[in-house]
Amino acid sequence: GQNIDQPTEMTATEGAIVQINCTYQTSGFNGLFWYQQHAGEAPTFLSYNVLDGLEEKGRFSSFLSRSKGYSYLLLKELQMKDSASYLCAVRRNAGGTSYGKLTFGQGTILTVHP
């Protein structure tokens, strides 16, 4: 099976930097995804890591260490609109028709204060 852990809640101040961690245990790891979900809305794709290292996309960056089973999402220059739930999801390479299935963590609710 898979086990994905992320903090339940975090708070930060507008303009600051926040790092949301995600640890996972799985066999056949084949990619880690971050999604953003505003309250009452659908998740939207933020980033994808399959190799170790940092992927940067504007104010958002995502890091992966496969040997440690660890990822983080870094949000810079926080804005009020970044208040949302951030979901970490792991894809497992089970082959055949299982390709593409994700297992989600419970999400981290980020609140950005003025």
Partner 1 sequence: NAGVTQTPKFRILKIGQSMTLQCTQDMNHNYMYWYRQDPGMGLKLIYYSVGAGITDKGEVPNGYNVSRSTTEDFPLRLELAAPSQTSVYFCASSSGTGGHEQYFGPGTRLTVT
If the CB atoms of residues 17 and 38 are measured against partner 1, the closer one turns out to be: 38
3 binds partner 1 (CB under 8 A): no
**What Å distances lie between residue 52 and 30, 79, 80, CA to CA?**
12, 28, 30
If the CB atoms of residues 67 and 97 are measured against partner 1, the closer one turns out to be: 97
List the interface residues with partner 1, window 16-35 (CB under 8 A).
Answer: 31, 33
Q: Which stretch binds partner 1 (CB under 8 A): 13-21, 43-51, 59-67, 74-82?
A: 43-51
14, 99, 111, 113: which one contacts partner 1 (CB under 8 A)? Answer: 99
Give SS3 for 8. coil
Give me the DSSP letters along 14-83: TT--EEEEEEEE-SSEEEEEEEEE-TTS--EEEEEE-SSEEEEETTEEEEEETTTTEEEEEE-S--GGG-
8 A C-beta contact, residue 94 and residue 101:
yes
User: Please, what is the minimum distance in Å from the beta carbon of residue 15 to partner 1?
Assistant: 28
107 binds partner 1 (CB under 8 A): yes
75 binds partner 1 (CB under 8 A): no
52 binds partner 1 (CB under 8 A): no
